[in-house]
Structure 1
Amino acid sequence: DHLHLLISANPKIQPSKMVNSLKTSTSRLVRKEFSEYLGKFYWKPVFYSRSYCLVSCGGAPLEIVKQYLDQQEGFD
């Protein structure tokens, strides 16, 4: 239903382009690898929704960010 990624990226990279590239490439890989199984559930040409949430955490200690992400499990 959703996932959290902690990514360190070059500040010159446009976040929207990075997210769209990740969604495009992972969609292709997942559909290729699990096409037989997914065919029962996904008949549309899209795998992900168009939306996403991107949050910057520059300057925060990574351990704090990881703690936050771990605490998000089960809050759906």
Structure 2
Amino acid sequence: MRLVFITKYKRKVFNDDMLNQLKIILEETCQDFEVNLTEFNSEKDHVHLLVEYPPKVQLSKLINSLKGVSSRLMRKEYPEILTKYIEQQNRPE
């Protein structure tokens, strides 16, 4: 199954270091579910995942974990993501 995760408001917040860390986080989360992450492609505002999962895995739980765990760990490791988002959100137009 192909999954696409997009940043909020399609903001271009990822750099290469962040994307490498995100790939590691997603691979580890997939291993916890006994899911195979066969492909990972990324841009500054979204990631594409190709996953192979067994029938016993509930897709909704897998997606919730992939998004939740990655968001929590990325915000912890790169607090500037949240800071940048808040600054852009509060900036007058």
- Range class of TM-score, shorter chain: 0.3 to 0.5
Q: When you count helix as a share of all residues, which structure comes out higher?
A: 2
Provide TM-score, normalisation by structure 1: 0.48
RCO comparison, higher one (Cα < 8 Å, 6+): 1
Q: Which has the larger radius of gyration?
A: 1
Provide TM-score, normalisation by structure 2: 0.40
Q: When you count strand as a share of all residues, which structure comes out higher?
A: 2
